[in-house]
Amino acid sequence: MKPIPLVRKAALAPAVSYLAGEGVSVSRYLRQAGLSAPSRDSLETLMPLHQLCGFLSSVARAEGIKDLGFRIGGHMGTESLGTYGRLIAQSLTIHESILLSRKFIASYNSGLQIWLERHGDQVRYCQKYVEDLPRDQITEVVHLGLVNAMANSGYGGEAVWQLNRIELASDPIDLSAYFPALADVPISFRQPFTSLWVDMSVMSAPIRRPDITNCSPADAPALDSFLETGPASDLIGQLNQAIESVLNQSGLTLQQTAAAIGMSARTLQRRLAEHDTSFSHLLQAVRFRNAQRLLADPEMPLKEIAKRLGYTDLANCMRAFKRWTGVGPSEFRRLHYEPEHQ
C-alpha cells in the first residue's frame, strides 16, 4: 500500500511569509485548506503533503499568480528548512551537504526522494516527488528552492558555483528572471524529475557559511526530537500524524481528513477496515493524547484546549474527556499535574 506523504510545517512558512509580504489575505486561504499559520513552536510538527499542495494551488488560482511556486522558491534558503536545514548547514563541502540531505530527507518530507548519479566527470543531483501528488506549485517551490540553495546561497567559496545543466519537472519559465547568473545555463523543462548537473570537482568545494549557523551542542535535543518524530513508517502511524495536523478543524470528519491526505473517503474507510480500526477510534485516541499534553500546561484555559482538539464547544469536550477517564478535565489536571497531587 502507498504511504501517506507527510512534511514538516516549516515547509509552509516561506509561502506564508511571501504571500503576507505581497498583501495577500493568507489567513483566509489557510482556513480553507484546514491549516493554521506556522509558529516558531509548530515548525517541526508534521502535516500532509497533499494539504500543502492544495493550499499553494488554491492561492495560485484565486490570486492569478501562475508562477507562485517559483516566486516562493526564489526566496528560500536553508533557514526555511527548520532543523533539517540546520543539519545540512553542518556540512563542510557540497558533497557532504548532499549526503546529509539524502540521509535526513525522510524525517523532513517523506514524499520527496533524493539521489546522486555520476556520469563521467559530472555529477547529477536529483529530486523527485512521490506519484499521485499535485505537482504544479509544490514542484516549483521545492525545485527552485533547490536551485536557489545550490546556485545562489554561497556554496563553493565567494563565487556562485557553476551549474552545467538544469532539468526541471515543471513547465517552462524564464529562470533568468529569478537568477540572472543562470542566463547562460542550459535548462530543460517537463522532465520526469528535477536534476542539477555539475562537475565532479565541485563536490569537494568548501561551503561558505550561509545565513544559518552550524548546529551547536545546545541543538542536540532538538535534533534528537527531529529524528524521533519523523513520518511514521506504518499506515496507522501516518494517519495518526495526519489527524493530529488537522485536529483543530471544528467537527473534524473522515471526509476532511481524506481530502487533506489526497485520498477518497471510501478508500480511507477501506484501508482503516483492513487494519481493524475506524476513523472515529483514531480521532478519539489522538484527541485524548493531545488533551493530556495540553492539560499539563496550567495556564491554558479549558476552552482553548477544547478548540485545539477540534470541539465546537467546551461541553462536548468535557463529556468526551469524562468518557475517556471517568473524570472531567479540571479534575484530571488537578490529580495529575498539580504539585500537591504528584
User: pLDDT tens digits, residue range 130-141?
Assistant: 766 655 555 566
Buried b (16+ CB within 10 A) or exposed e, 249-271: beebebebbbbbbbbeeeebeeb
Least confident of 12-26, 33-47, 196-210, 246-260: 196-210
| 210 pLDDT more than 50 | no
Q: Please report, as a single letter, which amino acid is at residue 59.
A: V
pLDDT mean over 29-41: 86
CA distance readout (Å), 47 to 41, 159, 311 = 14, 37, 20
pLDDT band at 42 (very low <50, low <70, confident <90, very high): confident
Residues 6+ apart with CB under 8 A from 303: 314
Q: What is the mean pLDDT of the segment spanning 148-165?
A: 55
- From CA 308, how far away is CA 249, in angstroms rounded? 8
Q: Which of 2-11, 73-82, 181-190, 196-205 has the lowest mean pLDDT?
A: 73-82
Span 266-273, average pLDDT: 92
Using the predicted structure, report yes or no on whether residue 266 has a pLDDT greater than 90.
Answer: yes
79 pLDDT above the threshold of 70: no
Q: Cell digits for 231?
A: 513520518
pLDDT for 138 equals: 59
pTM: 0.80
Contact (Cβ atoms closer than 8 angstroms) between residue 76 and residue 140: no
Q: How confident is the model at residue 159 (pLDDT cuts 50, 70, 90)?
A: very low
Work out the pLDDT band at 207, boundaries 50, 70, 90: low
Amino acid at residue number 298:
P
Sketch out the chain's domains with CATH numbers: 6-226 (3.90.1520), 228-335 (1.10.10.60)
Which distant-in-sequence residues (6+ apart) come within 8 Å of 22 by Cβ? Answer: none
